[in-house]
Structure 1
Amino acid sequence: MNILLPTTITPGMFGAGTSIPAVDASMGEVLWVSGTSYAVKDRRVWEGYTYECVKAAPNNTTPPSSTAGAEFWLRDEGAPTNRMAPFDEYLFTKARRATSLTYVLNPGFVTGLAIYGIEADTLDVRVRAGPGGADLVPPVHLDLWQQAFGEWEYLFGNLQRATSYTLKDLPLHPAAEVTITLSRNNAGVEAAVGYISVGQWSRLIAPMGRISAVVQGAEASTKSYAYYRENTDGTFVRRRGRQSTNMTLSCVIDADQANAAKTLLDRILDQTVAIEASGLPRFGYLSTVGSVTGTVRADSSATASVALQIKGNV
């Protein structure tokens, strides 16, 4: 089982090749400026988020994110800036760009990444030893169209695009530069991504060196946040809503790993993390982004078990 301990992305980590500006005027973003008068419902961006004016602010000099600024500004939790959208806790807030978008990140020591909520035809990932440096791993180029389940689906089915990707086992480097590019086959079509996380993958390994520690019975379930109302005449109103993937799974580990497993659960408590039951493609459905809670139990002198509940984020 794999859990990605995320590195917090700060403004200073974006490289020059990032194609989405800090304030994206093409998406209607306007930067908050000190000393300007603002009216109720004016929207401005500041430190990666959109704020809405809730009280008239003549000659406003208090930044929206400050304690004093809270009198005049309310942060819209569902409206990060276009650049920062993949780095909040939600998948539905997406960075968008016509034809292609590129992120160049300089996060320091990382061993992998996870990308979810992809809307694109191809994905390219390059990890180098600093800006312009040598490749730490071979560059990745993926066609995101999924493989057909069988001949009929290949010939007649409505093939879908993959919406997630993970990369592991990157060699450690103090100045690693990660470049992620999502592209469309047709110019002008919008490419988008909802979640990007870089950090350190942590693994729970089964006893006796087996690859996966997850036992039978792991499950993934889809939760819908749609609106539904049934009328007295039998008709109904349904509005599609956001969706998330919840998971429950358990795994058996060596007893010597129990302390490390408990420490891992403590570290990720109240954080949003990417988690996957296995790196094998056939278990791809057992992966999500969300909040993890769990227990570690001593089964015997040789083994321990970890039971996890993952509440997926929308």
Structure 2
Amino acid sequence: MNILLPKAITSAMFGAGTNIPEVDSSITPAEVQWVSGGSFAKGTRRTLNGYWYEAVQDMTTNPANTIQPGTAGAEGYWLKDEGAPTNRMAPFDKYLFTKARRAGSVVYELTPGFINGVAIYEMEADHLNITVKDGATDLITPVDIELWEQAPGLWELLFGELSRGTYYALKDIPLNPNAKIKITISRNNPAVEAAVGFISVGNWKTLLAPLAQASGVLYGVEATTRDYSYSQEYKDGTYIDVEGRKATDINLSCVIDAASAPSAKSLLEQILGKAVAIEVSELPRYSHLATVGKVTGSVRSVNWPTAQVDLQIKGNV
């Protein structure tokens, strides 16, 4: 059972290898960064510090047009669009549906300091490459994989619709303050758009079974899909189905060494209220038991040698 304690991504962590600019004018609608002293009609949208903001009133003269979005004095002037991060920052918010997009490939180069892992979700691509370097020295064997899943049989290979992997977890990165992580998510056809919904870098915390370096998760793990679609009904009896976003909730129990109970309780306190990456097992047959969401749970002392952790993960959209 693995939980990634995330590290907040700041603008200073991005390297020159990142191919999505801080202000991306190539997308639709084009990003335009807020500057003090402009003329802003009600409804005007500007980007700043990784998010879109919308003017809620006309601001054409000083001091109103110098009020910076996102500050304490901006209430009543600028409204932050929580579901609209900038293209560069889209994978680093709390949602999976907000995606960074670029034709051909999406590339991020990050220097986040001391971390030991990465989790990537909601990829729309054919290929994934990850390198971790200190200068010219590789700190890990580079990851270079095709995201197309293997066909279970000949019929599926010839006639079936093969699916692509959308999730990848990297562990055991050596602790190094200068570690530079480069993530490349690419298409086979450079004209086709690549995208990624969630990237988390940080430190993996593992809940292990007593006396074993293996997952302590008990059988009976439940993964529940959530569909936020809804129907809009009309007076004449007709209706339209509005497609909603999807999420995965997971409920599980994990047996751990009783001596680890205090650290497990501390871990739950650290991630309370945060969207974190969860991986129930590293085995391929349990790859569906991975999600991003908020975690609540309890730690129960069962007997002298063991304790039990019960977790409820509400998946993010």
User: What TM-score, normalized by structure 2, do the two folds share?
Assistant: 0.96
TM-aligned CA deviation for residue 232 of structure 1: 8.4
Are the counterparts in 1 of residues 104 and 194 from structure 2 also a CA contact under 8 Å? yes
1:123-181 CA distance string (max 9 Å, x none): 1000011xx33010011111000122333222221001111100001111011110000
Give me the whole-angstrom Cα distance separating, in 2, the residues matched to 1:150 and 1:70: 59
Q: Which amino acid aligns with 1:12?
A: A
Aligned pair partner of 1:192 in 175, 191, 195: 195
Q: Which residue of 1 aligns with 2:315?
A: 312
Structure 2 gap ranges (5+): none
Q: Give the secondary-structure state (helix, strand or coil) at the position aligned to 2:149.
A: coil
Identical aligned residues as a percent: 57
Aligned pair partner of 2:136 in 130, 133, 137: 133
TM-aligned CA deviation for residue 236 of structure 1: 4.5
Q: Which amino acid aligns with 1:48?
A: G
TM-aligned CA deviation for residue 112 of structure 1: 0.5
- Whether 2:275 is the aligned partner of 1:272: answer yes
Q: Which amino acid aligns with 2:254?
A: C
Q: Which residue of 1 aligns with 2:24?
A: 24
Q: Which residue of 1 aligns with 2:248?
A: 245
Q: Give the secondary-structure state (helix, strand or coil) at the position aligned to 1:263.
A: helix
Q: Mapping of 1:1-314 within 5 angstroms?
A: 1-27=1-27, 28-59=30-61, 60-129=65-134, 132-229=135-232, 236-314=239-317
Give me the whole-angstrom Cα distance separating, in 2, the residues matched to 1:282 and 1:168: 19
State the 4+ residue runs in structure 1 displaced beyond 3 angstroms: 229-236
Bigger mean CA deviation after superposition, 282-291 or 151-160: 151-160
Give me the whole-angstrom Cα distance separating, in 1, the residues matched to 2:159 and 2:4: 37
Give me the whole-angstrom Cα distance separating, in 2, the residues matched to 1:235 and 1:73: 38
Bigger mean CA deviation after superposition, 98-107 or 132-141: 132-141
Structure 1 gap ranges (5+): none
Mark the CA change 1:33 to 1:229 in structure 2 (over 3 Å): closer, same or farther: closer
TM-aligned CA deviation for residue 93 of structure 1: 0.4
Q: Which amino acid aligns with 2:212?
A: G
RMSD: 1.3
Q: Which amino acid aligns with 1:45?
A: T
Give me the whole-angstrom Cα distance separating, in 2, the residues matched to 1:284 and 1:13: 30
1:100-134 CA distance string (max 9 Å, x none): 110000000010000001000001000011xx330
Mark the CA change 1:151 to 1:53 in structure 2 (over 3 Å): closer, same or farther: same
Q: Which amino acid aligns with 1:202?
A: K
1:28-56 CA distance string (max 9 Å, x none): 00010101110001000011100000011
Q: Which amino acid aligns with 1:125?
A: I
User: What TM-score, normalized by structure 1, do the two folds share?
Assistant: 0.97
Give me the whole-angstrom Cα distance separating, in 2, the residues matched to 1:237 and 1:306: 43
Q: Which amino acid aligns with 2:143?
A: V
Give me the whole-angstrom Cα distance separating, in 1, the residues matched to 2:239 and 2:174: 55
Q: Which amino acid aligns with 2:45?
A: R
Are the counterparts in 1 of residues 232 and 242 from structure 2 also a CA contact under 8 Å? no
Give me the whole-angstrom Cα distance separating, in 2, the residues matched to 1:25 and 1:128: 30
Q: Give the secondary-structure state (helix, strand or coil) at the position aligned to 2:18.
A: coil
Q: Give the secondary-structure state (helix, strand or coil) at the position aligned to 1:64.
A: coil
